[in-house]
Structure 1
Amino acid sequence: MDEGNQDITALSYEAALKQLEEVVRRLEGGEAALDESIDLYERGEKLRKHCQSRLDAAQARIEAIVADADGKAAGTRPFDEPGVG
């Protein structure tokens, strides 16, 4: 897995998710040696945290803009509040 040395913080959400899916696939395949499995698990956890951080940032951006009836920014509301979306 060449991506193992790549800086996770530089990855886009999509790239990190793709790598995370590959880690999960390899772990579920059961073909990795114990030490490699541990390394994969650790990288997977870092990738998961990075993906969650990117999702949280996107949610914060969505919460920051709420339009009024004229389409102008009118304030903020929590992302999961009824009537948003």
Structure 2
Amino acid sequence: MTNDQPTDIGGYAAALDELQEILAALESDTTDVDQLAVRVERADALIRHCRSRLDDARFQIDQVVGSLDDV
């Protein structure tokens, strides 16, 4: 798996919802062994996406707070 972000992931909330669905499926033992690796890879991509969105938000917040210091 590459570090590139998949283009089919929506916003943070959609990614989090999909992660919760994957987790529920994995916890229920209904995941086919053949699909296990696919689901884990998808979860990895979703987690990376969510972390990136959080990092972006943190950066933007830091910029706003920093600009308030100039006022």
Decide which structure has greater helix share. Answer: 2
TM-score band, normalised by shorter chain = 0.7 to 0.9
Higher relative contact order (CA 8 A, sep 6+): 2
Per-residue deviation, residues 8-42 of structure 1 (Å, max 9, x unmatched): 2xx11000000011111111111111111111111
Q: Which of the pair has more CA radius of gyration?
A: 1
Relative to the length of structure 1, the TM-score reads 0.68
What corresponds to 1:64 in structure 2? 63
Long gaps (5+) in structure 1: 1-5, 69-73, 76-85
Alpha-carbon distance in 1 for matches of 2:23, 2:31: 11
Decide which structure has greater strand share. Answer: 1
Aligned residues: 63
After the TM superposition, which parts of structure 1 deviate over 6 Å for at least 4 consecutive aligned residues?
none
What corresponds to 1:82 in structure 2? none
Percent identity of paired positions between Structure 1 and Structure 2: 38
Aligned-residue Cα RMSD (Å) equals 1.7
What corresponds to 2:51 in structure 1? 52
Q: Secondary structure at the match of 1:41?
A: helix
